[in-house]
Amino acid sequence: MKKSIISILLFLFMTTTAFSSELVDVVNTFQSDKTALQNFYSNNESEEYYVRFSKFYDDWGKTVKNIDFKSLSKDGKVDYLLLKNLIVKGDYFLQLEYKAFKEIAAVLDFSDEMNLFIKERRRGKKPVSSQLAKSFDVAVISIDKKIEQLKGKPFKDWFAADKASKSVTAFEKSLKEAYDFYYSYDPDFTWWMEKPYKKLSEKLKTYEDFLKTNYPQTSIKDDGSGIIGKPIGREAVIKSLAFEYIPYSPEELIATAQNQFEWCKKEMIKASAELGYGNNWKAALEHVKDTYVPAGEQPQAITDLYNQSVKFIEDRDLITFPDLAKETWQMIMMTPERQKVNPFFTGGWEISISYPTEDMDQKDKLMSMRGNNPNFSRATVQHELLPGHNLQFFMNSRYKSYRAPFDTPFWMEGWALYWEINLWNKQFPQTPEQKLGMLFWRIHRCARIIFSLKYHLGEMTPQQCIDLLVNEVGHERANAEAEVRRSFASGDAPLYQVAYMTGGLQFYALRNELLAKGWTEKQFHDRVLKENIMPVEMLRILLEDLPVSEDYKTNWKFSTDFK
């Protein structure tokens, strides 16, 4: 009887989410303040924007510093650290962009009167249109002079040229918004401003195009791949890892990925031998690619894989799947345009299926079908749906949703990747084709760490990244190009691709720690999804009730040698 009571109390402790944080309103206020300022100061390439947001982060830094850390609950202390980290991180990257803006700000030194017009428009002040029209005419002349001056003085590199061009684009967008506010509503404004605005707008577009290419040929923007990204450099990579509570250097993570990569290769050779291809795992992989379903049958194949994975997990009682979550997921077809960036399906509230459309070239159709065969998809359907992203979205909208600002791919993608590891270890793949399919994605995540970190460290170009995926992972070339384009030219955070495998290893290490303390897998999985999104090291503090200080720094050396 006594043991039964203890077991019940332990279960309640492990699964409870009743603990409330004293900082719920503080976190919500921070995010609401930030959103309000972003909506108001909409030109994020202006002196006004950088100055205001510098003050925003400075003010919030003081606000957090004035909170009595010692009086907070464990949830409150974790939220305190997460909010402080978010503020420092936001300000760090803001200042990097501000520094880059200051270096090219002179390209807009003709815009003072027009910036005042934009600013006063927010309160609807009636402009003196005759004077404003003159300032627009003067600006056109000033831009012509600036172009002539800058022809003989190009920017130091294409990064500065791109920043200059984007700053002019952002200015033109704000100017148009202000012009449209008055045009046709104010007869005096309309009469004076129509032609001056049209001339200036056209001149600004010419100016943007000129600035974009005004850099020396020694600064290489395109290595021939057509993929244009911006390596952030070693210092920013190290800072980014610290903001994500990852206590490893980029070189250590690359070494970890390479070790994982070699493990995957050995397992692929084993599966290849089972298929009769011996050590020629590439030939075995080509065999698996040809297991694709006919055009038009991919949606049913996805549904079948979903049903298999859910049954497998529920039969082993590994996690709670709410009935409504199972009832309400759905699928959509990915557009051809999106498939150029993401050649495989994605997930969230729905699963977006990537498969050939009628207007694709025959070669691209075949690449899409081969790259999305059911054996490859075996690793990723549950990644995108249940217990992956769909379940994450479902639970995050219901439990501690105020933590949404602490968004990190190491939690979002790491959790979904962790399930790929977990299901592999539980023999979810049965046939050699299924094993090769899951290993293909596992080795791809290892390659992502290698090529994305080396790219941002300046050690690989986009074309070299593509070649790595084709030659060492086994991607179809068009799919490899889309993967690299997604990594560097789609707006993803610099560490996004690193987060899959690294976050997965964090979750796997945390799982093992808690199982050693008497938790069941189900208790661990259910509790994770009721704490909402955050760096995994912070989640560890909550789940294991670890001591934490106000000046806490990342220190959890989670295992990186797991095979």
pLDDT (tens digit, 9 = 90+) per residue, 373-411? Answer: 999 999 999 999 999 999 999 999 999 999 999 999 999
Confidence of residue 563 (pLDDT cuts 50, 70, 90): low
Given 81, 104, 127, which residue is the final one in a domain?
104
Structure tokens of 239?
């800072």
User: Is 315 among the domain residues?
Assistant: yes
Given 212, 227, 258, which residue is the final one in a domain?
212
502, HSE (Cβ side, Cα atoms, 13 Å): 32
Residues 201 and 89 grouped into a single domain: no
Given 78, 104, 130, which residue is the final one in a domain?
104
Structure tokens of 233?
């450099």
Burial class (CB in 10 A: 0-12, 13-18, 19+), 294: exposed
Residues 429 and 538 grouped into a single domain: yes
Handedness of CA 493, 494, 500, 503 (dihedral sign): negative
Residues 471 and 354 grouped into a single domain: yes
pLDDT (tens digit, 9 = 90+) per residue, 272-298? Answer: 999 999 999 999 999 999 999 998 999
Q: Which residues contact 444 (CB under 8 A, 6 or more apart)?
A: 469, 473, 475, 483
Averaged pLDDT score across all residues of the chain: 94
* CA gap 336, 357 in Å, rounded: 7
Residues 315 and 432 grouped into a single domain: yes
As a whole number, mean pLDDT of residues 147-173 equals: 97
* CA gap 517, 523 in Å, rounded: 12
State residue 6's pLDDT score. Answer: 43
User: Is 223 among the domain residues?
Assistant: no
User: Is 219 among the domain residues?
Assistant: no
Over 70: is that where the pLDDT of 548 sits?
A: yes
State residue 562's pLDDT score. Answer: 61
As a whole number, mean pLDDT of residues 334-339 equals: 82
How many domains are there within the chain? Answer: 3
Least confident of 304-308, 357-361, 539-543, 547-551: 357-361
DSSP character string of 353-413? E----TTS-HHHHHHHHHHT-HHHHTTTHHHHSTTTHHHHHHHHTTSSGGGGGG--HHHHH
Structural domain boundaries, residue 118: 109-212
Over 80: is that where the pLDDT of 302 sits?
A: yes
State residue 342's pLDDT score. Answer: 75
The letter for the amino acid at 81 is L
Instruction: Tell me the H-state helices in 105-186.
Output: 112-121, 129-151, 158-182
* CA gap 527, 511 in Å, rounded: 11
State residue 347's pLDDT score. Answer: 83
User: Is 15 among the domain residues?
Assistant: yes
Residues 494 and 382 grouped into a single domain: yes
Confidence of residue 360 (pLDDT cuts 50, 70, 90): confident
17, HSE (Cβ side, Cα atoms, 13 Å): 16
Residues 412 and 507 grouped into a single domain: yes
371, HSE (Cβ side, Cα atoms, 13 Å): 29
Over 80: is that where the pLDDT of 264 sits?
A: yes
Residues 243 and 306 grouped into a single domain: yes
The letter for the amino acid at 522 is K
User: Is 299 among the domain residues?
Assistant: yes
State residue 222's pLDDT score. Answer: 95
Cα of first residue to Cα of last residue in the chain, in angstroms, is 41
User: Is 355 among the domain residues?
Assistant: yes
Q: Phi and psi dihedrals of 457, rounded to 5?
A: -85, -5
User: Is 178 among the domain residues?
Assistant: yes
Structure tokens of 479?
């799919």
User: Is 217 among the domain residues?
Assistant: no
Residues 80 and 123 grouped into a single domain: no
Counting other chains too, the contacts that 109-117 makes at CB distance below 8 Å and 24 or more residues apart are 110/138, 110/139, 110/142, 110/143, 110/146, 111/139, 111/171, 114/139, 114/171, 114/175, 115/46, 115/48, 115/171, 117/175, 117/178
Over 70: is that where the pLDDT of 16 sits?
A: no
Angle between helices 234-243 and 250-275 (to 10 degrees): 80
